Every structure is written in structure tokens, then in C-alpha cells.
Amino acid sequence: MSEAPAITALADETAYAEAVRLALDASAAYYGDGTSTLDDDAYDRLVRGIAAYEEAHPDQVSAISPTGKVAGGAVVGDVPHTVPMLSLDNVFGAGQLADWAASLERRLGRPVEVWSVEPKLDGLAVSARYRRGRLAQLVTRGDGLAGEDVSHAIGTIAGLPGELAEPLTVEVRGEVMMTTEQFEAACAKRAAHDGTTFANPRSAAAGTLRAQDRPYVCEMTFFAYGVLPPPAEESEFASTLRGLPHSEAMRWVAAQGVQTTAATPVAGVVAATLDEVVVRVEHIAGARAGLAFAIDGIVVRCDLPADQAQAGFSSRAPRWAVAYKLPATEKITKLLAVEWNTGRTGVIAPRAVLEPVELDGSLVTYATLHNVADIARRGLMLGDSVVVYKAGDVIPRVEAPVVHLRTGEERPIEIPEVCPSCGDAIDASQERWRCVRGRECRAIASIGYAVGRDTLDIAGLAESRIKQMLDTGLIADFGDLFYLTKEQLLGLERMGEVSTANLLAAIEEAKSKPLSRVLCALGVRGTGRSMSRRMAQYFGTMDALRAADAEAIQEVEGLGPEKAPVVVAELAELGPLIDKLVRAGVNMTEPGITPRPERAAEADAERESGTETEVEAEEAAPPLAGKSVVVTGAMSGPLATYSRNEMNELVERAGGRASSSVSARTDFLVAGEKAGSKRTKAESLGVRILTPEEFAGLLADLL
């Protein structure tokens, strides 16, 4: 976990004044409709720079400075809050968290008895006021003292019921946001209406919450993080609620039917020590990439009301709670150009060229744009300020243009009229455009991929050699390799007796590779190494796979209704090549796997005869059934010669799921020499760690 990132340095009073105004404008837009000129990280750096300048020059502090103010002092409202809705101070990294906790405990004069740890949701803070159990009013945070009435949004926010389970008068505080699914739906509705999309889920939620005259309705989501009785009420209920620890108060809120994070992978928990807090922080951070909603940190607070009361408040934030900020997963940068590339299967893919920006610990200069339809849906133009998004280990992608930052100098993105690789026509009948020559367009790349170490593993076929064979007409695809003769190879320049014998031996060896490797070599669109293994393990033989329709193929994990028809069409297109491989004697079965039709027939027979038992079913279960496994570091012992892809194959043959990143959902980390950060993360999350030797023992029957 990183410590505080760099601040924006301010050289003099003029730079300071400009920074204050920029921060104020950005904050007003952020808390207004979500369309800030700065991303979160840039804003945080700017405000820290302002604070540093003010500390060094206390006589120059501006009256409108955003430091020490809720919402940066940029937002006002006309509905007073019953109790101020304050911001949280930030820490960056475990060191700063420890310093904050030590300072808090010095203020208390004793250790904190119980900590509460929960995700910091990236939405808009609102107060939901219930009167006698009915939702009567919604108010934004505003400047912390008063907010804006947005009660018109009642009925459009999932997780915020119109009635509580009991007819009580309370105020529930929480975040209004959009899930990934809601955001995509909102963008589709807006695009259909005016041709534009929202920049990100937060701006979509901000604009939607305030909109009163849109001809379309977008759903949002609410997660509660606090509850208050009426301030002046002295009833038994009010006294009881005020006396509840935060964790118990949130359980009460959930029991009333209001959504909390309790049912999510990042549910709030309590911890007795700071070490336990750090473990939970790492758990939530690790789960971030897989969540259906955005978080930008973790809130750590005193769970007990007595600790909170003793710690008190500063002018803008409680002293008993802090926000542990996570690295930014999205930034605003410039779209400089779009490159068009033809892949090995003939698919034409656009790639965004970006003004370099640091994102989630790496410098990003390129991002995926998927296809022409995606560019059109997002309304992108060259020169746009764009939101670039990255979560976990995925490739960065351009989320949307920041439309309000356009200057008028932006230009349309030129869409190719012919294949950028060979100049032939483009098949635009599907969203993913393709050269009409298909794999022939990039035959060198297609063959090179097929013969690589992680596919058929035919050594001695460098790109130059493949090009030589294509130019001389010896091959047109990788299937032709299996028909090459010694005389043909000796006729090639720089091919002698030894190199020819070695190449022919490697080609012969490739014939015995398992079906999963052959499928991967074919390069079926929409699949890769992992999916090829899953298909091979599910169907067992090429014949069974080719006979399957789209509905049957959907039974393979990860092949849904969109991908399955593509796989069927691809296998049909690849039919002549597959037949060529079969004639050459290339293996078309997966070792140890019974073909799918035979398995189904056996299961039917067992059910009819009544011989199927739970014990037999358990014995048939592979050793890693349903387990997620990450492999890192150099292998040793019985696995010393295994490549990373071979390890992933082993995991999936054992019924597990090979993954590249450690998260809270990881079951095992196989850690070899120099395991590095993945081992550290697994330790913090409590993931079981195995040595290569221990893992080999677990899978001894498969080695």
C-alpha cells in the first residue's frame, strides 16, 4: 500500500491564487453535476499543494481556500441539516493510518476498543429522512450545513425503500451511486436521447439525482453508512439508537429494509486491533476490481459511541474516522490519435493513443477502444479530454469523453474504409469489423501464434522462416506444416540437415499435443488459452465440440449467449483447416476426459439403474474443483520445468480456475522463488499459500 502521492507544488502567491480558484471550480462541478475539470487524484494533489503553501505562508491564506471546508467550500444548499454532514480526512498507506490511529489514541488517553472498517463508496452523500416510517425527503450534503432538496428522485433509487419495516422517524445517511450495469443502461438512454454518454458512474449519478425534466429515467443505487434519530427527540427509541455501536446501528438499518454493504464482498466488519484493521483494508482493496460499484477507499472509525463522543470533531471532519484512500483507477487525459490494427484472426481493432498519464501505479499511453460501434456509442473525437479507466489487471480503456471540456477544436475520428494491413475490403456486418481475407491477412502472425511454446510448441519456426515458407508457397496455414517433407525443407535457404531434422521432429511431436493446445492454436475468436482448455475439458473431443450448437456451447463456463454463436461460426469457418489437421494425424482429444456425449449417456444409465451415489460423485470430483488458483515465482521440485501456461493448464485439468491476480476470492497461491508482491498480498488477505512441492503433492495423480 502506497504512502502519500506527490503534491502539486505552488511557486508563488499568483500560482497559489490560481490553484485556489481551480480547486473551487472543480469542487463546484464535482459536487454539482459530477463533471469536474480534474480527476480525483489531480484534485487531491492540488488541494494538498494548497495546504502546503498555506502552512509555509500563513499570512497569504485566501478566504475562499478549499482547505478545512466540506466539499471544498464550493457547494451551498437551502435545506439545513439536522446534524452537519462532514467530510473525512484522508490517509495514504499503512504508515499514515498507524500515525492517525496513534494520534487518536493519544487524544483518548487509551487504546480504541473496537474499530469499524467498511468501504468508502464513490457516490454522492445524501440524507434520507423518514417520517413515521415513510421516505419524505432527500437532501444532498451540500456544504455540510445545508444541502439541496432532491426528493423528486424518490422511487428511482434501488436500496432506498419508500417505507421502513417499522413506522419510525429517523434520518438515514448514505451514498447514491450507479452500479456498472446501471451506468451502462444510463449511457444507452442518454445516447439514444442526445447522442452523448456520461463520463463515469459518479457523474451519471450526480446529474441524474438533480435532473427533474429528463424524458427518460435512470435507476441509481443507495448504500447506507449511518443513521440518526431526530436531534431533539428524547424517546427510549432515540436513546437506544444513539447508544448503539456503529456496526450494530448498521445492522438495525439493514433490518429496516435499507441497503448496506452487508450483502457485498466488502461488508463492514469490526476489528479489535490495528493489525486486524490493516488486514481488512487489504481485503477490501483486493476485492475492488471485482465489485459491481465503485469505491475509492476504506473508512476506518471508532465503533463505540463513547469513543466518538470523546474524540469529537474538527471544523470539517470527525476526529474518530478517516478515509484510507486507494490509488486512482481513472484519470482524465487527452485522446491524441487512434491507431487501427489487424489482428491474427483478421479482426480490425482501434487503439487509443493517449497523452501519457499515471494510472494505478503505471504510465498509460494506450487504451482499448474495442470497435467502431463502441467509438460511436461513446461519441469520441480526436483531441477530446477522456476518462481512462483501469481496474485490477485489466487493460486500460477509454470510458467516455468529458464533453463539457471541449474547445471546438476536436476532430472526428477517421474510420478506415479498407483493411489497414493488406488494403483489402472490410467485412462490417458485425460490431467487430474484420478483413475479408480473415486469417490469411495476417498469416505470419496467425501461424506464429499457432506454433508458439504455449500452443503447439514447434521450435525452429521464427517469423523470418514462416515468411520464407509463405513466400515460396510451401504453406498457406499452419496445417500445411504437418505435410512438409525433408526435401522441401532442404530446398530452403539456410536449412541444413540438422536444422531440417530438428524441425521435422518438432512437427511430429506437435501431433500429440492435447486438444486444448490445438484449439488454442486455431485461434478461435472470443477464446484464449483458458477458454480453449475449458472447452476441451467440457467436450473431450473435437468431434463433440464441432457437433455442438450454440446452446450446448453456452454450458462451458464463460461462454454466454453472445460468444457461443461466434464460436460455432468460427469452428465452421475453420472446418477445412481442422480437417487438414485430422488427416495429418494431429491429436483431437483431451487426455483423461470422457467425450461429453458418452458422459451424458453414462449419467443417464446410472440414474436409470439407481447406481449413482453421492460417494461416487465425490470421488469423481477433481482435486481443485471450484477453486481459484494463482501461480507466481519460479517453480521447483516436480514442477521445475513447468512454464506459467503449463501451470495454468495443470490447475484447470484439476478442475480449478487459473487467475493472474490475487484477491479475496483466491483459494490458493502457489508461490515459487521470488514470489514478490503477490505473496505479500496473499498473506494480508489470509489466502492459503503453497510451495510448488506442496502443490505437486496435491495434484500427484495428474503429474
* Under 8 Å between Cβ of 332 and 42: yes
User: Which one-letter DSSP state was computed for residue 60?
Assistant: G
Between CA 540 and CA 655 the distance in angstroms is 14
Please tell me the total number of residues recorded for the chain in this structure: 703
* Under 8 Å between Cβ of 298 and 199: no
Between CA 439 and CA 523 the distance in angstroms is 9
Between CA 556 and CA 527 the distance in angstroms is 12
Helix (H, G, I), strand (E, B), or coil: what is residue 355? strand
Buried b / exposed e over 391-400, threshold 16 CB at 10 Å, is: beeeebbbbb
Between CA 97 and CA 1 the distance in angstroms is 11
Helix (H, G, I), strand (E, B), or coil: what is residue 396? coil
User: Which one-letter DSSP state was computed for residue 382?
Assistant: B
Instruction: Say if strands 170-177 and 124-131 run parallel, antiparallel, or are unpaired.
Output: antiparallel
Between CA 187 and CA 184 the distance in angstroms is 5
- CA-nearest of 352, 415, 337 to 382 is 337
In the residue annotation, 120 being an active-site residue is answered as yes
676 burial level (CB within 10 Å; 0-12, 13-18, 19+): exposed
Helix (H, G, I), strand (E, B), or coil: what is residue 13? helix
Residues 6+ apart with CB under 8 A from 508: none
Helix (H, G, I), strand (E, B), or coil: what is residue 672? coil
Between CA 465 and CA 499 the distance in angstroms is 12
* Under 8 Å between Cβ of 110 and 43: no
Between CA 669 and CA 659 the distance in angstroms is 10
- CA-nearest of 339, 359, 336 to 350 is 339
Q: How far is CA 547 from CA 135, 524, 552, in A?
A: 57, 16, 9
Between CA 661 and CA 629 the distance in angstroms is 9
Neighbouring CB atoms inside 10 A of 296's CB total 20
Between CA 483 and CA 17 the distance in angstroms is 75
Q: Which amino acid is at 251?
A: R
Q: Cite the beta strand spans of 214-320 per DSSP E.
A: 220-228, 269-271, 295-302
Between CA 551 and CA 565 the distance in angstroms is 8
The three grid cell numbers given for residue 444, joined into one nine-digit string = 505470419
- CA-nearest of 551, 546, 582 to 564 is 551
Helix (H, G, I), strand (E, B), or coil: what is residue 334? strand
Longest dimension (CA), the chain: 99
- CA-nearest of 572, 578, 570, 343 to 441 is 343
User: Catalytic residue among 120, 390, 563, 580, which?
Assistant: 120
Q: How far is CA 4 from CA 154, 242, 595, 662, 678, in A?
A: 39, 35, 56, 24, 22
Residues with active-site annotation = 120
